[in-house]
Structure 1
């Protein structure tokens, strides 16, 4: 599984193309805090949706051609979700250390 460090994500956010960030935490945690930036399109699709084959309609908003950075609190759930999405043909990377590492980097 391909990983991206918080530093690499920040550098990518300085580019011209928007970064598609998929946050797989529950909606309540997402609403409390998520990465916001003019160069980031952040989607919240909880991991339970990705784990459940019948509920994957929400993935229709993502094309398989778009690179996706998957994140969660620490990176564990993101890695599991990224494995599933990779198996479905999506171009995925995992934010190493999740939002915990991102917040440490941004301090």
Structure 2
């Protein structure tokens, strides 16, 4: 049976831990990674969370797989023990990405509400 994106996002959210922007921010830089899965143009237009790791959703699996030949060491080196908080613009891509990371053996959580909720909580954002 075919599934819609909305159904896939709902399933991912139901199966994946969530965190508020403040919880993700206060988790401590040494113990967590904030992974931004937005596209480069979105980063330039809307800014980004200071110190976040940027890997677009479209290439996440290859960057998260240490054996892919395209792995991102800043992510794969934290596969054991570090919480990965995933952020996008509003939460849908983050839900899909966090769910995928959990399936790949990462400890991942969705940042509820995405970058907009981060900004609404008056948390730090860097301009591009």
TM-score bin (small chain): 0.7 to 0.9
Post-superposition CA distance 1:52-92 (Å, at most 9, x none): 69977234432311211110000100000111111010110
Q: 2:55 aligns with which of 13, 28, 45?
A: 45
Unaligned runs of at least 5 residues, structure 2: 1-15, 124-128
Q: Which residue of the partner structure matches residue 30 of structure 1?
A: 43
Go from structure 1 to structure 2 and tell me whether the alpha carbon gap of 1:10 and 1:43 turns closer, same or farther (over 3 Å shift). closer
- Do 1:45 and 1:58's aligned partners in 2 also have CA atoms closer than 8 Å? no
How many Å separate the matches in 1 of 2:29 and 2:84?
16
- Do 1:26 and 1:46's aligned partners in 2 also have CA atoms closer than 8 Å? yes
How large is the Cα RMSD of the aligned pairs?
A: 2.5
1:12-31 matches, within 5 Å, as: 12=27, 15=28, 17=30, 19-31=32-44
Who wins on radius of gyration, i.e. which is larger?
2
Q: Which residue of the partner structure matches residue 19 of structure 2?
A: 4
The structural deviation recorded for 1:17 is 2.5
TM-score scaled by length of structure 1: 0.79
